[in-house]
C-alpha cells in the first residue's frame, strides 16, 4: 500500500450496510485503512438500509462489528464521526432524491471534491435498478470520480451477464465498474505475479518443457450453513469455478505484461482465458467431475448431508464439489493440464497452488525401480500463507542416496499486520482507481462461455448424488481424473 496515493477524499455509499458482508468485511476494512492513515478526515461513509434506525444506533452497531473483527481499535471513536446512516428504498425514486441532498451536504462538510464510490453489497437483482437510479437522480453527476463496486454473482450465465452489463453501462463506463473478487485481494494470490515475473529462476521454466501439471485446490470444511437458498441457484461451478478458480488459472497461465498497469495485466489475463479449450458435450464427463456431500464426521462432530440443509431441495442436483482438467491451447501451455478442485465439507480448509515440474530425463541418483520425489513449487494462500520449493538433496555423508528437502517462506504476523482482510486491499485499490485486481468484462465473458458449456451438459444428465462423504477430499472420480494422466492430487502439502 505504501506505493499508492493515500488520503484520497471520497464519499463512500454502501448499499446493504446492515448486512453481514458490510459488518464482517467492509466496515472493519475501512476502519483499518483509516487507522493506518490511508484515509484521513476527508472521508464520509453512508450506510444505506431499509430499517428505521437512528444514526446513533447504526454507529453503535458498526462500532461493535469493528471491535469484534479488529484487535487494535485505536482511533475508533474518531472514525465513527465519519459514519452516517440513511434509510432508503432502492426501488423508490424519491429515496434517491433524498440521498442526493444528503450526499451533497456531506461533500461540502468533509470537502470530498465530488469523488463518489458506490458499493452494492446487495442481491444481484438490484444491481441494474440501483445503477439506473444513481444516474437519473443526479448522484453520478459530479466533478470528481464516480465508481461502482459490485459483488458476485455477475449474472447466472453469459446471457444474463450480458444483459446486466448493458444495463450498468447506461450509467457507468467499463473503467468505472469494479467487479470484486475477494480472492484477487489475497496477498498470496497477488504474489503469484511477483513470483513469476520478479524471479529469473522461474520464468524460463514456466512452460510445457519443464512443467508437467498445475493443481489449484480451494476446499472448505464448512457446509452451506445458512446460504442454502443462494447455493441452490449457483452450486460450486458458478459460486467458485466461474470466478475464483478461473481467475487463479489466468494468473498462472498469462504471459508477462509489458507493464504493471492494470490494462496491460488484464489484457494478458484475457488472452489466457480466451485460450481455454471449450469443452464439447461428450468431453465434459471426461474432464469434469461434480459431487455433493453426504453426511459424515468432521472432527468429532457428525454433520448432515447437503440435501438435509435448510432451504435445499430433498432431491437437489446442485454440486457442492467440482474438479476439472483444463487445457490451454497456446504455445506456452500445450500439453500441460491445469487441474482445479473446489468443494464444501471436505477434509481441510485449504487454498493452494501446486506446480509440479517434470522429471529429469535420465537421473543418475536412483535405481530404475525407484523414483525420485517430484520437484514442486507450492503456493499456500490459506490458511498458512507462504511459498515452498521441494527439491531432492544428498541424504548421507556416505553414499549418494537422496532425500526430499523443502525451502520455505511463511508470511509472518508482521507481514500480515498491515491488512485485516483482502477487502481492505481491494477497497484501497478502488479508491486509487486501480482495477488490476478486479474482473474486467472481457474476462467475465470468457469464463461464462467456458462454464456455460459444462452447465448445459450437466443440466441434461442426472447425477448420482450424494457421492462423497463429508470430511473427505471429494468423490473417487476426482482422483481418477488425474490418475488417468499418471498424476495424483497433492494433499495438504506445505
Is 485 annotated in some ligand binding site?
no
Is 325 annotated in some ligand binding site?
no
What is the C-alpha separation between 308 and 310, in angstroms, rounded?
7
The neighbour count for residue 288, using CB atoms within 10 Å, is: 24
Is 89 annotated in some ligand binding site?
yes
Is 341 annotated in some ligand binding site?
no
Q: Name the maximum alpha-carbon separation found in the chain.
A: 84
Q: What are the angstrom distances between the C-alpha of 246 and each of 117, 242, 243, 328?
A: 27, 6, 6, 12
What is the C-alpha separation between 369 and 367, in angstroms, rounded?
5
Distance of CA 244 to the CA centre of its chain: 4
Residues, the chain: 494
Q: What are the angstrom distances between the C-alpha of 457 and each of 115, 143, 318?
A: 46, 49, 14
In the numeric block, the cell 438500509 is attached to 49
| 86 included as an active-site residue | no
What is the C-alpha separation between 411 and 187, in angstroms, rounded?
10
Is 182 annotated in some ligand binding site?
yes
Is 469 annotated in some ligand binding site?
no
**What residues contact 182, with CB distance under 8 A and at least 6 apart?**
25, 422, 423, 426
Catalytic annotation, pick one of 82, 244, 390, 440:
244
Is 278 annotated in some ligand binding site?
no
Is 75 annotated in some ligand binding site?
no
Is 220 annotated in some ligand binding site?
yes
Is 349 annotated in some ligand binding site?
yes
Burial class (CB within 10 angstroms; exposed 0-12, middle 13-18, buried 19+) of 47:
buried
The neighbour count for residue 388, using CB atoms within 10 Å, is: 18
Binding residues for substrate: 182, 186, 220, 239, 344, 349
Q: Active-site residues: which are they?
A: 244
Binding residues: 50, 89-90, 152, 182, 186, 220, 239, 344, 349
Binding residues for NADP(+): 50, 89-90, 152
Amino acid at each position: 500500500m505504501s506505493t499508492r496515493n493515500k488520503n484520497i477524499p471520497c464519499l463512500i455509499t454502501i448499499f446493504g450496510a446492515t448486512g453481514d458482508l458490510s459488518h464482517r468485511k467492509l466496515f472493519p476494512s475501512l476502519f483499518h485503512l483509516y487507522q493506518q492513515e490511508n484515509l484521513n478526515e476527508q472521508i464520509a461513509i453512508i450506510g444505506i438500509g431499509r430499517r428505521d434506525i437512528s444514526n446513533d444506533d447504526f454507529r453503535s452497531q458498526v462500532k461493535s462489528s469493528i471491535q469484534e473483527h479488529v484487535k487494535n481499535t485505536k482511533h475508533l471513536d474518531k472514525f465513527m464521526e465519519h459514519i452516517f446512516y440513511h434509510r432508503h428504498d432502492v426501488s423508490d425514486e424519491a429515496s434517491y432524491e433524498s440521498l442526493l441532498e444528503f450526499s451533497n451536504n456531506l461533500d461540502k462538510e468533509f470537502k470530498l471534491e465530488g469523488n463518489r464510490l458506490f458499493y452494492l453489497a446487495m442481491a444481484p437483482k438490484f444491481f441494474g435498478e440501483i445503477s439506473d437510479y444513481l444516474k437519473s437522480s443526479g448522484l453520478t453527476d459530479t466533478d470528481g470520480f464516480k465508481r461502482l463496486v459490485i459483488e458476485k454473482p455477475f449474472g447466472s450465465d453469459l446471457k444474463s451477464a450480458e444483459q446486466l452489463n448493458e444495463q450498468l453501462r447506461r450509467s457507468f463506463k467499463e473503467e468505472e465498474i469494479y467487479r470484486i473478487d475477494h480472492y484477487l485481494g489475497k496477498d498470496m494470490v497477488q504474489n503469484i505475479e511477483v513470483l513469476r515475473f520478479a524471479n529469473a529462476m522461474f520464468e524460463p521454466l514456466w512452460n510445457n518443457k519443464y512443467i508437467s501439471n498445475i493443481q489449484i485446490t480451494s476446499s472448505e470444511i464448512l457446509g452451506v450453513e445458512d446460504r442454502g437458498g443462494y447455493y441452490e441457484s449457483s452450486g460450486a461451478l458458478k459460486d467458485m469455478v466461474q470466478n475464483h478458480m478461473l481467475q487463479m488459472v489466468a494468473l498462472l497461465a498469462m504471459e508477462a505484461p509489458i507493464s504493471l498497469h492494470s490494462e496491460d495485466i488484464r489484457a494478458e489475463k484475457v488472452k489466457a482465458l480466451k485460450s481455454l479449450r471449450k469443452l464439447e458435450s461428450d468431453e465434459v464427463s471426461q474432464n469434469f467431475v461434480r459431487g455433493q456431500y453426504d453426511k459424515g464426521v468432521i472432527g468429532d462432530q457428525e454433520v448432515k448431508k447437503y440435501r438435509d440443509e435448510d432451504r435445499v431441495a430433498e432431491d437437489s442436483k446442485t454440486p457442492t464439489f467440482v474438479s476439472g482438467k483444463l487445457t490451454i491451447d497456446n504455445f506456452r501451455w500445450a500439453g500441460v493440464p491445469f487441474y482445479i478442485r473446489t468443494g464444501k465439507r471436505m477434509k481441510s480448509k485449504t487454498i493452494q497452488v501446486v506446480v509440479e515440474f517434470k522429471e529429469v530425463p535420465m537421473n543418475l541418483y536412483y535405481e530404475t525401480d525407484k523414483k525420485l520425489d517430484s520437484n514442486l513449487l507450492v503456493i499456500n494462500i490459506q490458511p498458512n500463507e507462504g511459498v515452498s520449493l521441494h527439491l531432492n538433496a544428498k541424504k548421507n555423508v556416505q553414499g549418494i542416496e537422496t532425500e526430499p528437502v523443502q525451502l520455505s517462506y511463511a508470511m509472518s504476523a508482521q507481514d500480515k499486520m498491515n491488512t485485516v482482510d483482502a477487502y481492505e486491499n481491494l477497497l484501497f485499490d478502488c479508491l486509487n482507481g486501480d482495477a488490476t485486481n478486479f474482473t474486467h468484462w472481457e474476462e467475465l465473458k470468457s469464463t461464462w462461455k467456458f462454464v456455460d458449456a459444462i452447465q448445459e451438459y450437466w443440466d441434461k444428465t442426472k447425477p448420482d448424488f450424494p457421492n462423497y462423504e463429508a470430511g473427505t477430499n471429494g468423490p473417487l472420480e476426482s482422483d481418477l481424473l488425474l490418475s488417468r494422466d499418471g498424476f495424483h492430487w497433492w494433499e495438504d502439502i506445505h
